[in-house]
Amino acid sequence: MRSTALTESVEEATPALRTDLATRLRRQSVWFGIIGLAIVTLLFSEVLSGLSLYTYNNVLLACLGAIALTVLMGTGGQASIGNSAFLAIGGFSAVYVDRSGLPIALSIIAGTAAAGIAGMIVALPAVRIRGFYLALCTVALFFVVVYVVQTYQHNTVGDSGFFVPSLFASKGAHGAQQYWAWLLFAILSLCILFARRLMSGVFGRSLRMVRSSEKAAAVLGVNVPKLKVTVFGITSAMIGLQGALTLYFIGSLSSDSFTLALAIQYLAMVVVGGADSILGAVIGAALIVSMPTWIPSIVTDIAGSNIGRNDGPFISEMLYGGLLVVFVLASPTGLAGLLRKSYNKIVNLFLRPDGPVKVPANVDPDTSA
C-alpha cells in the first residue's frame, strides 16, 4: 500500500518538475558552461597579450586536475593530496616515451595511462582505509614518486631538467598560445562532459553513497572496492593527462616543480571553488592559478616599492592557504555553492509563475538530474 502511494506521489510530482523552466535550464547547465568557456576562449585568444594568454592556458590546464580532484574528493569523498605526484608521473612518463622517439600523441597517452595505473595502486589501501589515512597514503606516494623522478632526471639529463620542443612553436610566440588555448579548450570540454557523466547517473550516485556511508553503499549493492579503484584510476589518469600536456605546453620539465605545496594548491582550488561541483573546480582553478600574476602588483601598490615582485609567490601561498582554511571551516559548498544559492533566489523571484517557492533544504537539484 505504502509503496503505491509513494509511486503516485512521485508521478504527481514529476510533471511539475518537468515543466519547471529553471530546473530544465539547470540540467543543461554543462552546455551553457562549455559555450561560456568557448566565448571566453575566443575573447581571450583575440584580446589578451601573450603573457596573459599564457596564464589563461595555465588555468585551463589546472582545471583538468581540479575537476579530477573534485570528482574524487567532492563526489567520492576520497581524500587525496596526491595531485602533484600524479602530475609528475604524467609528465615524466611522457618525457620517457618522447625520448624514445615516439610521436607526441603517444607520449601523452602514455602519461595518462601511467598516472591512471599509479592511481589504481594508491587505491589499494583505500579499499581498507578512509579519511586522512588515505590522504597519508597519497603523501607517501608523493615522496616515493618524487624520489623516482629525481633519480631518473639526475641520471639522464642532470639537475637542469628535460627540454622538449614545445608544440606549435612554429606559429610564433603569440600564435602558439592561441593554438594552445583552443586545443586546451577542446580537451577541457571533453573532460567536463566526461566528469559530468561520472558525477551523474548510477556511477555518481554510487560515489555519493560511498562518501556518505560505505557500509550503506555496500548493503545497497555497490561494489565499494571496485568503485574506489575505478574512480582513483580515472581521476588520476586525468591528472596525468594534465601533466603530459603541461610538459609540451611549457617545453621543459624538472622534478623541482612537483612539491607538496602544489598538491595543497589543488586542494584549495576544490575547497574554495566548492567540492562536488565542476563549476566550482573551474572557478577555484581560475582564482588560484591566476593569483601569482595579480598579487604582486596589488602588493606593490599597497606596500609601495618593489616588495611585491619578490614576495608575490609567498603572499599568494599565504592567501590560498588562508582561503583553504576559511572555506573548509565556514563554507563547505564554496563559491559555487554561493552562486547556486543566488541563482535559486533569482529564479524564485522571476521565473516561477506562482511566485517564490521554498525549496526543501534536502533536495539538491544537482543530484536529482
Partner 1 sequence: MGLFLACVISGILQGGTFALVSLALVLVFRSTGTFNVAGGEVMIIPILAVAMWQKAGLAGWLGVIIALTLGALLSLGLFFIVLRHTIGGDHMIGFVATLGVAAVMDAVISLWFGSNRYDLKIPGVPRGTIRFLGIGVSEADIAVGVVAYGVCITMLLVMQYTGLGIRIRATGQMAALASQRGINVRSIYYGCWALAGALGAFAGLSYAATNIVDSNTVVLGLAALPAIILGGLDSFTGAVVGGLIIGLFQAFLTTYIGGQYVTPGTYTILFLVLMVWPSGLFGSRIVERL
- List all residues 6 or more positions away from 24 whose beta carbon is below 8 Å from its beta carbon: 18
294: contact with partner 1 by CB under 8 A? no
Q: What letter would DSSP give residue 48? A: S
311: contact with partner 1 by CB under 8 A? yes
Return the residue of 34, 40, 193, 328 that touches partner 1, per CB under 8 A. 328
Which positions from 108 through 147 interact with partner 1, judged by CB under 8 A? Answer: 124-125, 128-133, 135-137, 139-141, 143-144, 147
Supply 43's cell numbers: 575573447
In the complex with partner 1, which residue's Cβ is closer, 209 or 267?
267
103: contact with partner 1 by CB under 8 A? no
Cα angle 172, 159, 104 (rounded to 5 degrees) comes to 40
Q: Least distance in Å: CB of 150 to partner 1?
A: 9
Q: Least distance in Å: CB of 77 to partner 1?
A: 8
In the complex with partner 1, which residue's Cβ is closer, 45 or 70?
70
Binding string, residues 233-272; x marks residues near partner 1 by CB under 8 A: ---------------------------xx--x--xx--x-
Q: Least distance in Å: CB of 329 to partner 1?
A: 5
In the complex with partner 1, which residue's Cβ is closer, 204 or 312?
312
In the complex with partner 1, which residue's Cβ is closer, 98 or 317?
317
325: contact with partner 1 by CB under 8 A? yes
Q: Least distance in Å: CB of 240 to partner 1?
A: 19
322: contact with partner 1 by CB under 8 A? yes
Q: Least distance in Å: CB of 190 to partner 1?
A: 29
Return the residue of 5, 105, 329, 363 that touches partner 1, per CB under 8 A. 329
150-162 CB burial, b ≥16 within 10 A, e <16: beebeeeeeeeeb
The torsion of the CA quartet 84, 79, 204, 212, rounded to 10 degrees, works out to: -170
Which positions from 183 through 242 interact with partner 1, judged by CB under 8 A? Answer: none
Distance of CA 241 to the CA centre of its chain: 12
333 closest CA partner among 287, 364, 302: 364
Q: Least distance in Å: CB of 34 to partner 1?
A: 30
CB distance 187 to 64 below 8 Å: yes
In the complex with partner 1, which residue's Cβ is closer, 130 or 174?
130
133-142 contacts at long range (C-beta below 8 A, 24 or more positions apart): 134/78, 134/79, 134/80, 135/79, 135/80, 135/81, 138/79, 138/80, 138/81, 138/82, 138/85, 138/263, 139/81, 139/82, 139/260, 141/82, 141/85, 142/81, 142/82, 142/84, 142/85, 142/258, 142/260, 142/263
Cα angle 279, 283, 284 (rounded to 5 degrees) comes to 115
Euclidean distance between the first and the last CA atom of the chain, given in angstroms as a whole number = 28
Cα angle 99, 63, 194 (rounded to 5 degrees) comes to 90
In the complex with partner 1, which residue's Cβ is closer, 98 or 276?
276
Positions in the binding site for partner 1 (CB under 8 A):
79, 81, 124-125, 128-133, 135-137, 139-141, 143-144, 147-148, 151, 260-261, 264, 267-268, 271, 311, 314-315, 317-318, 320-325, 328-329
